[in-house]
Amino acid sequence: MPREIAINNAHPRLRLDRKAIRAAIELLDRHAKRFLDGPLPGELSIAFLTDPAIARLHADFLDDPTATDVITFEGEPAFGTAGEICVSADTAASYAAKKGHDFSEELTLYVVHGWLHLAGYDDLEPAKKRRMRAAEARAVNILKEAEACPRFSWKQ
């Protein structure tokens, strides 16, 4: 049975498909053994934020007032929570434009990155960062092969 996935779109210009995002996470959850010992138990929360909003979280919880791409907060499985993934849609849009990447793919990568952090992956040291990047590639390929990458767009 799929877990509860709460999706909060706190970005005024971002359009998203909650059903597609849930389907992508459920697909990753079904393939969790490729990334960790078992599925991530409990409710998962995903928040799509602006750069100023994620910068406030970054400052409040990590003592760094700059915007960042993804912040994750571990949950408490004993209380039925897997954690929260906070992603900056602004950062994804800026990076995608600068690098010539597809915005939806970039934002999906940020969600995958957060999911992997909750699965125990870290990217603060070079060896761990290489392991994270390899896992990101595997996860994104799972989504692409299943044609399960969510589409995101901007309101005009």
Annotated binding site for Zn(2+): 113, 117, 123
Alpha-carbon span 86 to 10, nearest angstrom: 10
- Tokens standing for residue 30: 């079904």
Alpha-carbon span 29 to 22, nearest angstrom: 10
DSSP three-state, residue 56: helix
Alpha-carbon span 145 to 33, nearest angstrom: 18
Annotated binding site: 113, 117, 123
State the alpha helices, DSSP H only, in 63-156. 89-99, 103-118, 126-145
CA 104, distance to chain mean position in Å, is 12
Amino acid sitting at position 33: K
Alpha-carbon span 125 to 115, nearest angstrom: 18
